[in-house]
Amino acid sequence: MVTQTTTCCHCRAPLSYTREGRCKKCRRVVLVNGQYLLSGTISSGGFGTVFYAHDQKSHRRVAVKLVLAGTPSDYELIKNEIMTISQRLSGLRFVPRFYTAYQEGSEVYLVMEYIEGKTLDQVRTLPWTPESVDRFLSVMLDQLQKCHEHQVIHRDLKPRNIIRNNAGDYILIDFGIAKMDNVTRTIAKGVGTPDYAPPEQLQSYTTSAQSDLYSLGVIAYELLVGQSPPNAYARLSGTALTPPSSHLANVPPRLEKTIMALLQLRAADRPASAAQALLILRDPPPLIKRASGKPMTPAEMLASLAGLAVFIFMCLIIFGIANRPDTPPPPALIPVVKLPSGRLVFASDREGGYDLFLADAGGGPPWNLTRSPQDELAPVFAPAKNYLVYLFKHRDAYGIARLDLATMERRELMPPRPDWNYGTPMPSPDGQRIAYNAGPLENLDLYVMDANGSNARVLAASPGQDYHPAWLPDGTALVYVVQEQTSSALMLLPLDTNRAPVEIYRTEGRLNAPAVSPDGRMIAFAERRDNGESSIYRMSVQGGPAERVTNGLGNAATPSWSSDGQRLMFSAARETSDERLSKIYLIDRDGSNLQQIFADRGNDIYPYWVP
């Protein structure tokens, strides 16, 4: 419930207003369009003042921005441009929703979604640790890439225009002088904030997506060093920009390289896009990056493995902004056993929330693929097309995302929905399709979509829950789980035919995560029976009895096969001296030779072994 104000937000006199919504004392508007009661100032700057407001019809808090229009034509320009920007960015959760606009004389009031949180200049304690700046840059570059893909350039990035909400997400606000396509339309007169604006913007030259990158570079430099770099005016006059490492020790080279690239005076010398800057920041190993920017073929990937040295470096902890900057990092993920072959992708919460990691048979600590304030889980690699699909969390709902490893570009294929559940995305062997389960929690169905997120269609919809799809190696069929009230079953669904699913195994226990061996003959899966702990089992794809593989490991789950079908990788929770942690293990298919992969304090889950 939003508490209504009892005083004028302008003059602080006891609230009393005219029929036109103006304060009887100061004569300024306090009730916009007879609906939005202004209650206080959020921020004020060169492009207007933003107020808290109470929507008296919906009884919710909103934000109302006051902009001076000057003329009726200015009002129409402002309204049309903010609506256009809002429509283009409407699917992006990190941009506040725009509701409507009203004119009161020469004043324009823009009614927008209120974001509970604080602006970056309110929450920051300088300097931040390199790890915190790294995480911030990763998130912001990903968000800018999406804005630029929708043909919107912010042009006034600064700490005051970035809100960190109560969920830890960063929200971009105040697109007041945004540029759309190749035409600049200015909602309020000005050229941005001088301390953060790039040279081309201060000199009234053409701006581009690279202009936003410069402003973000200034913010990142300030957060890392604890002081602002020389502004563009000073640098154009000859003041040198000193690298962050000249101010403090232990700056990761890739972080400094990214910031210095963003701060190049000439736009042409900066990264061509936010996605390219993100590639510099993440510095992917040769396994997933090539000079041409084109995805590696499976043959090229395998050939590259033979000559690789230990190239995957340790990823330091990246933690949320709300954490104290001097919080020490946890120990690194240390391999206990080297992978016998291939690559491993998995999720780990060693940095507070679950992020995705990649490890290689060459040994060494894994490489951090993603850094996000929200959990990211269940990664699966599509070697034929060189991308990952995985689940990502937003608030209390999950969506499906794709990460292209050649460019490190992230796409949301299925955005989260509060009343909908997505789970277990699984790319086809040729990488052209992705199977997944979706629906209300009590009635999940099996779906498939094209790899770009289009053409989603239902594959199986039983009265029970259909979930956890797994492809046969030739792509002709799927194995999946049907959960009913008193039992569950493994089903084999032929594709591209009219044949019905075939039941190949039924149990009174609960099944999950079937995985088909590379030769297409065996299925490994997890089953929870009477004792409440799940174990890994294996059986023939043709059906028959299931043989138990693991014993005595708590909640063994998500098995994955080696290339020769002789070993399995899975996660399981084992008791330590003071806690219960989920770790990743290797085991022979007959249940012998159990080995742990990593030793650290975090939970490592959802392993996917790529032969």
Digit-coded pLDDT (tens) for 441-487? 778 999 999 999 999 999 999 888 999 999 999 999 999 999 998 89
Output 3 or 462, whichever has higher pLDDT: 462
Within-domain flag for 5: no
Tell whether 90 and 172 lie within a shared domain: no
Residue 604 maps to a domain: yes
Residue 470, domain member (yes or no):
yes
Q: Are residues 373 and 405 in the same domain?
A: yes
Looking at the fold, whether 207 and 327 belong to one and the same domain comes out as: no
Q: Give me the pLDDT at residue 95, please.
A: 84
Cα–Cα distance for residue pair 587/561, rounded to 1 Å: 10
Residues 581-596 have a mean pLDDT of 91
> How does residue 183 score in pLDDT terms, banded at 50, 70 and 90?
very low
How many helices (H) and strands (E) the chain has is answered by 9, 38
Last residue of a domain, one of 227, 262, 282: 282
Q: Is residue 14 in a domain? A: no
Q: How much is the pLDDT for 551?
A: 83
* pLDDT tops 60 at residue 121: yes
Q: Which of 282, 315, 343 is the last residue of a domain?
A: 282
Instruction: Find the mean pLDDT for residues 165-192.
Output: 60
Comparing 578 with 108, the larger pLDDT belongs to: 108
d(CA 451, CA 442): 27
Same domain, 305 and 408: yes
Q: Is 19 part of any domain? A: no
The reported pLDDT for the residue numbered 269 is 94
pLDDT for residue 319: 28
Q: How far is CA 280 from the centre of its chain?
A: 18
- From 55, 134, 156, 169, active-site residue: 156
User: What pLDDT sits at residue 307?
Assistant: 36
**Which residue segment(s) compose the domain that 376 sits in?**
286-610
% of the chain surpassing 70 pLDDT: 82
The answer to whether residue 15 is domain-embedded is: no
Report the CATH number that the domain containing residue 53 is assigned in CATH.
3.30.200.20
- Position 122 scores a pLDDT of 84
Above 90 in pLDDT, residue 513?
yes
Q: Are residues 147 and 106 in the same domain?
A: no
Cα dihedral 599→593→382→342 (10° resolution):
80
- Final residue before a domain boundary, out of 72, 94, 113: 113
Instruction: State the total domains in the chain.
Output: 3
Please classify residue 59 by burial: count the beta carbons closer than 10 Å to its beta carbon, then call 0-12 exposed, 13-18 middle and 19+ buried: exposed
Report the pLDDT averaged over residues 175-204. 64
- What percentage of the chain exceeds 90 in pLDDT? 46
pLDDT at position 606, please? Answer: 94
| pLDDT computed for residue 212 by the predictor | 94
pLDDT in tens, 228-240: 999 999 999 999 9
If you write DSSP's letter for every residue of 456-479 in order, what string do you get?
-EEEE--SSEEEEEEE-TTSSEEE
Is 70 in the same domain as 155? no
With bands split at pLDDT 50, 70 and 90, how would you rate the model's confidence at 47?
Answer: low
Of the candidate ranges 179-183, 242-246, 254-258, 423-427, the one whose mean pLDDT is the lowest: 179-183
Residues 553-574 as b or e (16 or more Cβ within 10 Å = b) = bbbbbbbbbbeebebbbbbbbe
**Helix axis angle, 274-282 to 209-225, nearest 10°:** 40
Question: Cα(68)–Cα(185) distance, rounded to whole angstroms?
Answer: 15
| Confidence tier at 576 by pLDDT (50, 70, 90) | low
Specify whether 373 is located in the same domain as 482: yes
Confidence at residue 471, expressed as pLDDT on a 0 to 100 scale: 97
User: Is residue 122 classed as helix, strand or coil in its secondary structure?
Assistant: helix
| pLDDT score of 103 | 82
Q: Are 586 and 537 in contact (CB under 8 A)?
A: no
In terms of phi and psi (left: phi > 0; alpha: psi -120 to 50; beta: otherwise), the region of 81 is alpha
Taking 70 as the threshold, does the pLDDT of residue 293 lie above it? Answer: no
Claim to verify: residue 559 and residue 444 sit in the same structural domain: yes
Q: Which two tokens stand for residue 488?
A: 């569950």
Give the tokens for residue 397: 């709902």
- Per-range mean pLDDT, top range of 51-60, 198-207, 280-289: 51-60
Residues 50 and 173 in one domain: no
pLDDT value at residue 407: 77
Q: pLDDT band at residue 190, thresholds of 50, 70 and 90?
A: very low
Does the pLDDT of residue 325 top 50, yes or no? no
487: domain CATH number is 2.120.10.30
Of 68-77, 400-409, 553-562, the one with minimum mean pLDDT is 68-77
Q: Return d(Cα 328, Cα 129) in angstroms, integer.
A: 10
Q: Are residues 317 and 337 in the same domain?
A: yes
Range in 212-221, 238-247, 370-379, 424-433 the model is least confident about: 370-379
- pLDDT-based confidence at 413, cuts 50/70/90? very high
Q: Averaged over 190-202, what is the pLDDT?
A: 81
Write down how long the chain is. Answer: 611
Comparing 320 with 592, the larger pLDDT belongs to: 592
Average pLDDT over residues 532-554: 89
pLDDT recorded at residue 291: 34
Same domain, 263 and 408: no
Q: Could you check whether the bond before residue 415 is cis, i.e. omega within 30 degrees of 0? A: no
Instruction: Give the span between the Cα atoms of 130 and 252, in whole angstroms.
Output: 7
Residue 2 lies in a domain: no
* 189-193, 244-248, 392-396 — most confident range: 244-248
Mean of the per-residue pLDDT values of the chain: 82
| Whether residue 102 is found in the same domain as residue 215 | no
- Catalytic residue flag (residue 156): yes
For residue 74, the model assigns a pLDDT of: 65
Cβ-Cβ contacts under 8 Å for 211 (sequence gap 6 or more) = 153, 155, 197, 198, 200, 201, 267
pLDDT category at 286 given cuts 50, 70, 90 is low
Q: Is the pLDDT of residue 379 over 80?
A: yes
Question: Are 96 and 64 contacting, i.e. CB atoms less than 8 angstroms apart?
Answer: no
What are 445's strand-pairing partners?
438
Domain assignment present for residue 17? The answer is no
CATH of the domain at 156: 1.10.510.10
Q: Please determine, for residue 182, whether its predicted confidence score (pLDDT) is greater than 60.
A: no
pLDDT per residue as tens digits for the range 133-143: 988 998 899 88
Q: Which residue would you say has higher pLDDT here, 6 or 506?
A: 506
Residue 188 has pLDDT above 70, yes or no: no
Residues 6 or more apart whose Cβ sits within 8 Å of residue 576: none
